[in-house]
Chains A and B, each alone.
Chain A
Amino acid sequence: MAARWTLSLLLSACLFWPACLALTPPAELPQPHNLPPSLGSNSSDGSLSLDLPMALRVFSVDYNHVQAPFEIVLWIMLASLAKLGFHWSGRVPAVVPESCLLIMVGLLVGGVIYGVRHSAPPTLSADAFFLFLLPPIVLDAGYFLPGKLFFENLGTILWYAVLGTLWNMLGIGLSLYGVCLLAPSSLGDISLLHCLLFGSLIAAVDPVAVLSVFQEMHVNDQLHILVFGESLLNDAVTVVLYKLFESFLRLPSVSGLDVLLGGCRVLVVGLGGLFIGLFFGLVAALTSRFTSRAQVIAPLFVFLYSYLSYLTSEMLHLSGIMAIVTCAVTMKQYVEANVSERSKTSIQYFLKMWSSVSETLIFVFLGVSTIQDVHMWSWPFVCSTLLLCLIWRATGVLLLTAVVNKLRRNTVTFRDQFIIAYGGLRGAICFSLVFLIDDFPKKRLFITTTIVVILFTVFVQGMTIKPLVELLDVKRKKRALPTVSEEIHSRLIDHLLAGIEDVVGYWGQHYWKDKFEQFNKKYLRRFLIREDHQAPSSILRVYQELERRDQRGDEEAPPLVDPRSHSRPLLPEEMDSIRRILSRNLQNFNNKQTPAYSRHTLHQDATMDRTRKPLHRHRSLGERYTFNTQVPYCPQREDGEFSGSRRGRAGLSRSHTVTTKTQVCSMSPRPVLQDSSVPAATSQTRGLVDPKSSAVRKEQISPHHQAPDGRTPKKQLSFVLESEKQQ
């Protein structure tokens, strides 16, 4: 009951705003005659003053002064209130995806404005869309992209994006031309190039629409990343093809050379966007390294650099979407390691907020822009476009998948293929592109058709895809909680597969992944991340997060944990050390298992206040855990340790290895660190210098390390490091 009241209130509020919008700009506000005009300049801007004797104005309204920002804010307010309303409206959001509801609100608003003003309501200008509304959404998508999954499926995604778009474009364009030839009376003046141009802009799957529909569906990760990745990457192809055909339309004739050049352009556009994104991402990561003294503006750099990368590539006519996605993906791990916890949260929240607002605005404007005078209808064209879009997408996906399945290990099943084909939603990008076409007689027809296709895909396909997913029993996202054993086993298998690939001499996926990880650890991380923030391994992260959950007494704690084994109470110093570890490494948490895809929420981090307390208490105790703060000097990856060559377990600060460095690093291909200032550890490490440590040797030595007296050298080490640090 309350929900319905709220809904109606909000909807009436929503109707109120457009009334304001409709009324304010053109109308003159009526003036009470006894208002004297103000002194000086105000009377000249046509606000509201009459020819009255100069006297002091007590109350005045000056709308033109604030018109532009005022209207923008009103629109954003409208969109946001509408969004609020949906979430209070009971069962409706479960059935109808948000995008549809927003478009309907837009239609309503557009209708009201049209009715009041009898002229077209403001439309979504292409510039505003491409420069202001699209970047936040794509940035958000890129920032929260599940990197590992994306790169594993990159080949397939590129296959779909490039070839799929080409196939769709050619198919739709050529078939439409056929349709135009068949109906020469009404459609005869549409040339082949126009059809191809139209095909290029209608073929592309839209990331905004896909995101907004898929994120409510919770399909399995692989399917999600395939559709979503395709929608992101096909921007390069779309941009090139669109611009290509546009320039062809302006040329007197088209030669084969032009087509070839067009093909090269696809490559240039895609790779150019990629490199710009990489460049800005690395610069942003480097900048974030130095933000420790001005933490408040750290989030700003993330946004500025990403936006810069987008604008730069737009300026050079390269793919802005690819640039901004690459920028976000590149800088994410370094920025998150460098900035404070609060900054990290700010970044995430701002991203979500802006992308939410953008998306809402886009859909509302789509609805509003539908109400205009410029429609031209043609049954054969529109219906055939709709049909052809569906048919060509389905055949494209089937063919491409048949080929790519031979090269993949996890095949894309038929159900998945169906969802990929059905989930090819068109959205606002097509809409803006169609507005940008040079004027020609049938442009209105194109606009109308585009709107119809968008509305059809968003409404019909968007609404029915969720029941279809359930009907077809598509594999859903696993909601299992992360476990440490899972993390360990994944790592083990990764290493194992990389090793086997090395034995066989096959440069497969794991080989390159391994190589990149080594490069990353060796050069990038050391350069781009603050010295005291070099992150520990992912196994430790998962473990700490689980400990944190247990501490919090979460009811979602994994039931696998046997209650019997919790019987041993944790000793006070163990709790202390756990708290120390947690507070020290808290900022390196990221929830790998639950990608924050939801448009509405971030993963809630409710324990932040609680863990800040140990931080305060702990600082007074002094810094005993200096292990993680100093980075071992000789190039080594965090998981590149050989158990056979046990380095000093305390991380050694760089300055202290200077003396021993030369002798150590020249000794063997696998350098062993020795800390001459620590007698206990030295005796243990010296015995391990032999690079060809066989397995037997290793076995003998490791139990030795785990002897109870292993604790004492560590304490000595920490003591030594403390005193060294104080020097």
Chain B
Amino acid sequence: MGSRASTLLREEEIEEIKKETGFSHSQITRLYSRFTSLDKGENGTLSREDFQRIPELAINPLGDRIINAFFPEGEDQVNFRGFMRTLAHFRPIEDNEKSKNAAVSEPLNSRTNKLLFAFRLYDLDRDDKISRDELLQVLRMMVGVNISDEQLGSIADRTIQEADTNGDNSISFNEFIKASFVVRGNCMT
């Protein structure tokens, strides 16, 4: 129990997180309690195993990739700040959003950043392009085994055709934004 006290959230931290992510005080405390309940090792960070213990996430077809999105490049542990930073992408945009800090040019939950998050789910090698292979992987995950490779390949080809405007046979971020314009995603307002 002794180590617990050192991981309690301090007021200054809450303020910083609030500024960075835009969550309210109560939201931050609630998410912190969720964080600590996930953190079985009680060392103030989450590892991949902690995420994989969530049962519904385990059967989500994109589960692994979502988990990956929480961990910064090459690391295996994520602390509460990083956790909140990732979750901040999903905060709904409010009409009266004002960014006090001029340095933060774009809030984390702006539409572009949300799309960037989704884009990174496809683009694993971070080359800012969704290649045909990456698309095929995601498709296979979502669609299941009932479909043959050739069909899947045609679907992937068609998707790239629809979105690709500069003919490099892959989808760049800008093309992705344009293609997602019609997507009626509730979080993408």
Contacts and interface: CB of A to CB of B under 8 A. Distances in A.
A320 interface: no
Interface string A707-722: 0001100100000000
Secondary structure of the B contact surface, majority rule: helix
Contacts of B151: 540, 543, 577, 581
Interface string B9-27: 0000000000000000000
B103 interface: no
A153 to B, nearest CB: 11
A639 B61 contact: yes
Contacts of B145: 632, 641, 647-649, 651
Contacts of B65: 695
Interface string B153-189: 0110011011111010000000000011011111111
A649 B148 contact: yes
Contacts of A502: 54, 56-57, 60
15 contacts: A409-B189, A488-B142, A492-B118, A492-B142, A498-B56, A499-B56, A503-B57, A503-B87, A537-B147, A543-B154, A647-B145, A651-B146, A699-B124, A703-B133, A714-B148
Given A152-B186, A499-B62, A639-B143, 5 more contacts: A409-B92, A409-B186, A518-B59, A558-B162, A638-B146
B52 A692 contact: yes
Contacts of A152: 186
Contacts of B162: 483-485, 558, 560-561
B85 interface: no
A484 B182 CA distance: 12
B148 A493 contact: no
A705 to B, nearest CB: 8
B144 A639 contact: yes
B149 interface: yes
A680 B104 CA distance: 54
A558 B64 CA distance: 34
Given A638-B144, A692-B52, A500 B87 contact: yes
A505 interface: yes
Nearest to A515: B56
B62 A492 contact: yes
Interface in A517-560: 518, 534, 536-537, 539-540, 543, 546-547, 558, 560
Interface string A399-419: 000000000011000000000
Which one of B61, B140, B187 has the greatest number of beta carbons of chain A within 10 Å?
B61
A484 B159 contact: yes
A593 B28 CA distance: 39
A711 B149 contact: yes
A627 interface: yes
Given A409-B189, A640-B61, A706 B54 contact: no
B34 interface: yes
Contacts of A647: 145
A702 B137 contact: yes
A409 B154 contact: no
A498 B139 CA distance: 17
Interface string B85-118: 0010010100000000000000000000000001
B188 to A, nearest CB: 7
Contacts of A641: 61, 140-141, 143-145
A628 interface: yes
Contact of A493 (B70, B118, B179, B182): B118
B82 interface: no
Nearest to A148: B184
The 3 closest A-B pairs by CB, nearest first: A638-B144, A499-B66, A502-B56
B67 to A, nearest CB: 8
Contact of B182 (A486, A497, A540, A669): A486
A445 B149 CA distance: 71
A643 B143 contact: no
Contacts of A564: 167
Contact of B180 (A410, A489, A670): A489
A578 interface: yes
